[in-house]
Chains A and B, each alone.
Chain A
């Protein structure tokens, strides 16, 4: 007599912890992602988001995928110099976009649904852009230059939305600072990377789940309205917060923030046929890997971790769709130097904490 069938009786091995995790050497683990749609090497892919998103663009390029960069430096400019000025980190020179609301703000500006405010931060003879304060290492030479080059970036950002087939966005933070007079969000708290903190005008307004979900939904809808063929691949950065302004311990604050972002990404992927979620967050942070993908500071992700994540990305896509993806030329593994090259403005917050 056979046991009656039930929903757990005939699932694929990946559905069971024992067969998918417990009995598998962690580094041999596969099938962590079941991609919804194929990304071919010919598909233009735009990438934005937090620091960790920079690895995705590089990995796409290294594997001869079409990483869409719509704001480029002149040819033959060395990579390190370009990156110091914010080029080739993301598809356009936006700097890090950490939160769903900051993404929405960039989209509104780029798609003609709003204007950046006139606010600039004067630093002696130089001028900082409050909305990408580290994009020029020494600041801009004038307000005219700042506004002219921000307009260049907004056009490039818009082009990337219109031309991409896949828009990859890595959600990084829920903690954010806004200007209470204009309602605009800063990528970093004024006074940290640049500018001066003014408690009368600068407010800490962290996102909760409904706010993050609403902003992300509006952002995706805006992009689909502009480019109906666009698809979205969401990831959550596994890099913990450098600092928290919540008053809580940074460990707990990190968990809270990532939980919200992970839930938003998962819900959107479940609800929308045009949206998928890739589990880079789980791959790096899961206890299964025993923290091996973190550097000694227990925050930065090592080159090995980045490489493992990106190998799973391409491997699982090949497993799902076969053919075109599996025929790719294997790319060299990113070396340690490349992994360290990620430009992370939030890192500055750590500089304000006590020395270990």
Chain B
């Protein structure tokens, strides 16, 4: 059994919506979500070895999304996944009018000021278990293809991994290749019928607007978990082998 703690925002809805089918296919998977919209999980704080909500509103969200838990007890989980933070910045007409240094600085500042870093630092202080992270999914491919992202997806993940995640022992995951369009966007069909966080948690069908481009659907969540799980399994396997031999 692999017990995975997922801390996320509204983007975690894609994973939640896929979780039931995914767990049916992977009997060793046990996923526990601690999610709240936008940046509301900023009000989680370390206290007495636990990661706890500091406001009644967040406590309610945590209870709702975790299936009744009041806090994150780090010893209960084999690994952590911080999902959906770090934004994806703006697209601009011509990234070549910015220097490479400025582009890197913009990307790093965006992630550095996000909850990905708060949660990473807090969890690393509480646990030696593997911590994984995933940035906000790339928005779905737009009709306005003239505007481009500051940095391609893989370059951005490599930069953030090297500069921000590695020092905290956090592994940053890329989007599954099958979801990408030219390393710049998510395939549009993965944003069709995405499900708002609270509805995904209640397993009800109440679909986002058809124009929604930022949140992904259950098919995306399933692909994401399928790509992630072997990586998690392999890392835990190595960690357990290491623990047995030392």
Q: Are B106 and A141 in contact (CB under 8 A)?
A: no
Given A74-B92, A74-B150, the answer on whether A85 and B105 have CB atoms closer than 8 Å is yes
Main secondary structure of the interface of A (DSSP, over half): loop
Residues of chain A contacted by B105 (CB below 8 angstroms): 81, 84-85
Please report which residues of chain B, range 86-109, place their CB below 8 angstroms from some CB of chain A when the two chains form the complex: 89-90, 92, 96-102, 105-106, 109
Residues of chain B contacted by A98 (CB below 8 angstroms): none
Q: Are B102 and A85 in contact (CB under 8 A)?
A: yes
Q: Are A141 and B101 in contact (CB under 8 A)?
A: yes
The 8 Å CB contact of B101, one of A74, A75, A76, A136, is A136
Shortest B214–chain A CB gap in Å is: 15
> In the bound complex, how far is the Cα of B98 from the Cα of A148, in angstroms?
9
> In the bound complex, how far is the Cα of B90 from the Cα of A77, in angstroms?
9
Q: Are A145 and B100 in contact (CB under 8 A)?
A: yes
Q: Are A76 and B89 in contact (CB under 8 A)?
A: yes
Q: Are A141 and B99 in contact (CB under 8 A)?
A: yes
Shortest A320–chain B CB gap in Å is: 40
The chain A residue with its CB closest to the CB of B103 is: A74
The 8 Å CB contact of B106, one of A77, A136, A145, A152, is A77
Interface size class of A (residues with CB under 8 A): 10 to 19
Residues of chain B contacted by A75 (CB below 8 angstroms): 90
Residues of chain A contacted by B92 (CB below 8 angstroms): 74
CB of A138 closer than 8 Å to a CB of B: yes
Shortest B204–chain A CB gap in Å is: 33
Please report which residues of chain B, range 56-111, place their CB below 8 angstroms from some CB of chain A when the two chains form the complex: 89-90, 92, 96-102, 105-106, 109
> In the bound complex, how far is the Cα of B94 from the Cα of A152, in angstroms?
11
Residues of chain B contacted by A74 (CB below 8 angstroms): 89-90, 92, 98, 106, 150
Given A74-B92, A76-B90, A81-B109, the answer on whether A152 and B97 have CB atoms closer than 8 Å is yes
Give a binary string over A43-83; 1 marks a CB under 8 Å from any B CB, 0 the rest. 00000000000000000000000000000011111100100
CB of A149 closer than 8 Å to a CB of B: yes
The chain A residue with its CB closest to the CB of B91 is: A74
> In the bound complex, how far is the Cα of B97 from the Cα of A152, in angstroms?
6
Q: Are B97 and A149 in contact (CB under 8 A)?
A: yes
CB of A140 closer than 8 Å to a CB of B: yes
Shortest A83–chain B CB gap in Å is: 12
Residues of chain A contacted by B96 (CB below 8 angstroms): 148
Shortest B107–chain A CB gap in Å is: 10
CB of A354 closer than 8 Å to a CB of B: no
Shortest B67–chain A CB gap in Å is: 36
List residues of A whose CB falls within 8 A of some B CB: 73-78, 81, 84-85, 136-138, 140-141, 145, 148-149, 152
Q: Which 7 A-B pairs have the closest CB atoms?
A: A152-B97, A85-B102, A74-B90, A75-B90, A141-B100, A74-B92, A81-B109
